[in-house]
Structure 1
Amino acid sequence: TARRSTDARRAAEDYRRSFIATQERWRAGLASLVELEDARRTALASDTAVVALEQERMAAWVALYRAAGGGWTPEVDAPAAQTSTQATTTPPSSSH
């Protein structure tokens, strides 16, 4: 994913430059609105691809971490959960 992310980022930058150039051509009357919107759609699709690759990479890291034995164990989380539950469900003691 790292190699693909580099390529995707480079492509996204190029599509963004292409969109800006098309936008300037459209302002000058040299490009149609259809061309402008097609360039915008392509640039947004490439940005979406970059984000999807980043998400894929993060999911792979989480999977690797879990496969290596990392993660959250009920034994470790249980005392903290019990303490917070007891604090909210235990009525205050009255001292008369």
Structure 2
Amino acid sequence: MEKSQPTYLSIGDFAEASRLSRKALRLYEERDILRPAYVDPESGYRYYQPDQLAAARLIRALRQIEMPLAAIQQLIAARQSSMRHSSWPMKGDTPPVWSR
């Protein structure tokens, strides 16, 4: 069975889909809140994967309620750590709230 290539969105397409500005996405990368899935080493262009949209939308919602970036960074880091150490998905389990 052949493995498919990952789908990438340019920073512009990702910005439009997530309703975040390109400037905000660059800031979130700088602050280690939301990093691109791939950065082209020659052009420096940033590319995101569609499964990163949930995190981007969460960040947008948290910024709308004026949560500080430092708190968002801690929340995202805790979420990533939790998901790395989670045994989910197991049969009968429901997805964590963060994955929606």
Using structure 1 for the length normalisation, give the TM-score.
Answer: 0.26
More strand by share: 2
More helix by share: 1
Larger radius of gyration: 1
Using structure 2 for the length normalisation, give the TM-score.
Answer: 0.26
Higher RCO, 1 or 2 (CA under 8 Å, sep at least 6)?
1
